[in-house]
Amino acid sequence: MRTQRSSRRSLLRRAGILGTAFAVGATSRAEADSGRADRRGREQRPVGSWSVLVTIEGEPEVERAHYSFSSDGQLILQTTRHTHTGLGSWHPIKGGFVYATRGLRSDADGGFLNELRIRHTARFNPDGTFTSTGTGQAVDADGNVLMEVQSRAVGTRFGIDG
């Protein structure tokens, strides 16, 4: 009887060890696969800081801006032409992302002029930049659209060294 019990225990121990080894191996492979997927996904996410040139339809002057996309879908931007800071959000789509922002404009005394609302669809370019197109609206305090323009933006990522 001891021989059967010992054999059974030995077999169960070996099966347990093999099962654990298989599970660890399967988990490691799954983690490696998801790691590759994460790396591919991060390559196609706008997370980080961008220097952006904005062309507004009908305007000869190109506007400069800085965009900061966070990993949780938040967006902060600052522009030169209208000297405002915009707050917004973004979400990924196949081959790019969609973003929307709102920024307040004031007169020289700090009084409310209007709110600028931007909504763009962006696509990643092979060189690592993005190009987006969409609309910009100026909206008064009552929510009436004062003006709507089409615009195009081209963003170049920058970091500590560039």
Same domain, 60 and 94: yes
Determine the pLDDT at residue 21: 37
Which residue type, as a one-letter code, is found at position 90?
Answer: W
* Residues 64 and 52: beta-carbon distance below 8 Å: yes
Determine the pLDDT at residue 84: 76
Same domain, 6 and 78: no
Number of independent structural domains in the chain: 2
Among candidates 159, 147, 141, 93, which has minimal Cα distance to 120?
Answer: 93
By DSSP bridging, strand 85-93 and strand 96-106 are antiparallel
Q: What pTM did the predictor assign?
A: 0.71
Determine the pLDDT at residue 44: 82
Question: Domain range spanning residue 39?
Answer: 1-43
- Tokens for 24? 């660890």
Determine the pLDDT at residue 32: 32
First to last CA, the chain: 75
> 142: domain CATH number?
2.40.128
Residue 79 is given by DSSP the state E
Same domain, 53 and 27: no
Q: What's the rounded Cα separation, in Å, for the pair 116 and 58?
A: 17
Same domain, 17 and 54: no
Same domain, 111 and 72: yes
Same domain, 33 and 97: no
State phi, psi for 18 to the nearest 5 degrees. -65, -40
Same domain, 31 and 52: no
Among candidates 127, 133, 161, 135, which has minimal Cα distance to 49?
Answer: 161
pLDDT mean by block of 10 residues, the chain; 162 residues: 53 44 36 33 80 95 95 95 86 96 92 95 96 97 96 96 70
Same domain, 77 and 24: no
